[in-house]
Amino acid sequence: MSAAESVPPSASQSLGTEPLILPFERISAADLPRVGGKGANLGEMARAGFPVPPGFCVTTAAFDAFVAGCGELQERYAELEALDGKDVEAARRAAESTRAALGRAPMPPAVADAVLATWRTLGTEASWAVRSSATAEDLPDASFAGQQDTYLNIRGAEALLDAVRRCWVSLFTDRAVLYRSRSGFGHRGVKLSVVVQRMVLPEVSGILFTADPISGRRGTVSIDAGFGLGEALVSGLINADLYKVDKATGELLEVRVGDKALAIRPKSEGGTWEERLPEDVRRARTLDDAALRELVAMGVRIETHYGKPQDIEWCIEAGRLYVVQTRPITSLYPLPEPAPSDEGLHVYASFGHVQMMTDAMPPLAIQVWRLLLPFDRASPGPGDAPGESRSVTTAGSRIFLDLTPMLRHPVLGRGSRGILGHVYENVGQGLDTLSGRPAFQRGASSGRARMRAAGRFIVPIVAGVLARLFFVDPSRLRPGVESFSESRVAGVRARLAAAAPGAARLREARRALWELFSEVIVVVAPNIAVGVLGNRLLVNLVRKGVLGGTEEDLSALERGLPGNVTTEMDLAVGDLTDRVRPYPALAELLRSRPASEVLAAARDVEGGPAFLEAWRAFLERYGMRGPGEVDLSRPRYKDEPAPLIAAIVGGLGPASANRAAGEHRAHHAALAAKAEAASERLISASRRGLFGWLRAGLARRWVRVVRTGMGLREHPKYLLVRVLDVVRDAVREAGALLVQRGSLSAAEDVYLFRFEELIAALEAPQAPDLRPLAGQRRAALQRDARRSPPFVMASDGEIPALAVRADLPPGALSGTAASAGVVEGVARVVLDPAREVLHAGEILVAPHTDPGWTPLFVHAAGLVTEVGGLMTHGSVVAREYGIPAVVSVAGATQRIRTGQRIRVDGTRGFVELLDGGAA
């Protein structure tokens, strides 16, 4: 007889209209609010016919009845909701007082009667597992696994009721309270059901992942297994066996037999005990090939049922396989979408890592880049919608570039891996790993059409680089780029101004974005590429002795570059700081008042009017910039001046009290002078020997080309953010119109929609209600914001691991050497340049830096970032300023704490913690 047939609903099993007890067979995924994540999954599997041991759930209605008997609970909830997730001791105290209060609450008689009545029907002689099942548990985006308690081999009525009570109380374990506080889940809204399940007494048990949780590969099943109950494995008491199986072929990819020193066994009277295993058993395989095949088949069926990779608890009793739990694998990073249309393995690189901005982006900001990048564009969409780049995919609200066609080309593959490895070492290593997989090698090579399309851009760029290396006067490069940029910005501004507000203006903005980079790549890219490639050419020729010079001279060439628009902006921030420093009242105003109030109040203090005049001039030139500026939705300096105010305040600290006005410009000029002196030494050293006149001439030309070209490196992004500023005004205008029509609640929600969705909503005769969809997309964006994106990944989910360096001092943090030199000093961890102040002389430790962060570089003594490569933004600017930098330091903002003394070795690429170790 099934549990559903044996437990009919009755008055004793309900409280009002809500049931106190639900057997598995009456539970579906829709019952999650009643039975929690674990209970909903067990019921879903039981209804689908999977071999789930019988049982029932004590519902959240029973939990509500229990906590209602605790008179102190509202006071305890208020204490819990006040937690910020950072103060561990406060969380421990609040959790302990809540558990104590619940421990004094009585078990509701109606609940006790319902639990015991159902238990008697199912069989009092059996042993039972009693498990907590919270409503915020085993969810698609947060598993909360292990936060509440489980009790095994429960026998007898008194022990059963006691286990149910202890599960309820375990909703407030220290770890559960702290986890919810840190994850943003409210405590009042989380309830607890209790799963009561017939205890399986297994010979073997374990965990099956239908995707490899380490590498991320969706095609690999990973199984951990041990003898006896699974508690020995999940508690870390044994080294379990590890089996990895190819999901498609059934091939056994890896077997690692663990040292299973013990097995947890049930006692006849209830409870468990630890059995020490003999030597021949502890080192024997727990699973033979037949059992593996059955397990893999079961895992695949469960994954297919749920439509996503699963973390499955299983056990084998008397040769029969049982499933006792399944939950989503929430640690896997989402796969790029759209998925490949062919059967081959595809390889993707993170756009955010190269752009030094790895935050999640809303749909409109992502579409902007699909329109901008002119590679591999799809056919035009409905109406006048331009075709978007198929190379731009999305995963976890981040952009990933599909590099597969280029990497599969026999010539372009080698060249692109080399270039990307130079730009970003970790990306290059990851691409080498993934493109070397047999599955990638078996993929179809790039079609001729795609190569011809790529050639439309590659050939002009290569031709432009060669012309600039050997023929074009370097002095013509900067004026040409600036003239081109000014004309394009003026053209876009005129086009959008001529269009009617709303749908027509959005159409024009979309078309302008689509056209922009086709010209930029052909006209501007060679000027940037010649600086980078010319530098590599100089380095190689000097190292091989063809040209004269030293490594120090080569390093000096990258400092004090002429014409870098981002450096000019940073120096202008230094000028603003100089205007504040002589006026203590103005400085105190900037330190003590919110940024939103500072500018209005500055009019009335000494030095304020002159500062405001300089401020307005700064915003006129740079107000469209800001942190995360590649994301259309992010505030600009003119919208949110807090990052600039923080940068100015950082330059007013005690360490800079005696700094002379203009010292920052003098420092930059000194670096430029040293670069010129290094240039002359390179040219002079190249003049020696046979054909010295020719080598010296080439050295002189290439030094000028390199410094000019590298100085222009930021111009394309500056052009882009100026165009985005015009587009952004049109988008925000459309958002305001949609708010007026009642389609959106706030104008900022406009970024949650694509251009065509906004145009359709603006042109609809009756305003559509976009608010529900906006809420869903906002929630998805917030979930994705908590993910850490990989630098590269494959279409089957693999994220390659980096090789561990062997040349590090003990305890040092490994990274990529980005700007030569060694500096010791006090670290300042900055996660948000609008909130944290970097004081002069401190070492900046940040997740990433883009042009919106670089005003901080004026004060920094050194730089450490979690992402970045040799040619990414922060590295280039650090070299220009002459400050030591190490980038790609994994977890730097967690492993280093503010105030800690560290040593940054920008020559060898590591960071040493000098006092007290990592936080």
Report, as residue numbers or ranges, the catalytic residues: 873
Please, where are the H alpha helices in 7-108? 32-47, 60-68, 73-81, 88-103
332 is written with which tokens?
Answer: 């896997």
Largest Cα–Cα separation, the chain:
105
Among candidate residues 36, 57, 63, the one with its CA nearest the CA of residue 169:
63
Q: Is the Cα dihedral 550, 555, 557, 560 positive or negative?
A: negative
Among candidate residues 525, 390, 386, the one with its CA nearest the CA of residue 456:
525
C-alpha distance from residue 795 to each of 347, 389, 430 (Å): 6, 18, 14
The answer for residues whose C-beta is within 8 angstroms of residue 820's C-beta and 6 or more apart is 555, 879, 884, 906, 907
CA atoms within 13 A on the CB side of 773: 14
User: What is the chain's percent helix, strand, coil content, to nearest 5?
Assistant: 50, 15, 35
Q: What is the CA radius of gyration of the chain?
A: 32
CA distance 311 to 332: 11
In order, the DSSP letters of 684-733 are: HHHTSSTTHHHHHHHHHHHHHHHHHHHHTTTHHHHHHHHHHHHHHHHHHH
Tell me which residue has tokens 């006092």. 915
701 is written with which tokens?
Answer: 């030309």
- Encode 135-162: b = buried (16+ Cβ within 10 Å), e = exposed: bbbbbeebbbeebbbbbbbbbeeebbbe
Task: With H, G, I as helix, E, B as strand and everything else as coil, classify residue 796.
Answer: coil
Q: Is the peptide bond before 338 cis (omega within 30 degrees of 0)?
A: yes
Please, where are the H alpha helices in 764-881? 771-785, 873-881
Give the angle subtended at the CA of 852 by the CAs of 872 and 651, to the nearest 5°: 110
499 is written with which tokens?
Answer: 């269009």
The answer for residues whose C-beta is within 8 angstroms of residue 444's C-beta and 6 or more apart is 342, 344, 408
- Which residues share a beta bridge with 261? none
Contact yes or no for 792/402 (Cβ under 8 A): no
CB count within 10 Å of CB 82 equals: 10
CA distance 217 to 335: 10
Q: Is the Cα dihedral 748, 754, 758, 764 positive or negative?
A: negative
CA distance 712 to 705: 11
Q: What is the dihedral of CA 375, 381, 384, 388, to 10 degrees?
A: -20
CA distance 238 to 282: 10
Angle between the 663-686 and 692-711 helix axes, to the nearest 10 degrees? 150
Among candidate residues 901, 898, 891, 887, the one with its CA nearest the CA of residue 850:
887
The answer for residues whose C-beta is within 8 angstroms of residue 470's C-beta and 6 or more apart is 701
- Encode 473-486: b = buried (16+ Cβ within 10 Å), e = exposed: ebeebbeebbebbe
254 is written with which tokens?
Answer: 């890896």
- Encode 410-443: b = buried (16+ Cβ within 10 Å), e = exposed: eebbeebbebbbebbbbbbbbbbbbbebeebeeb
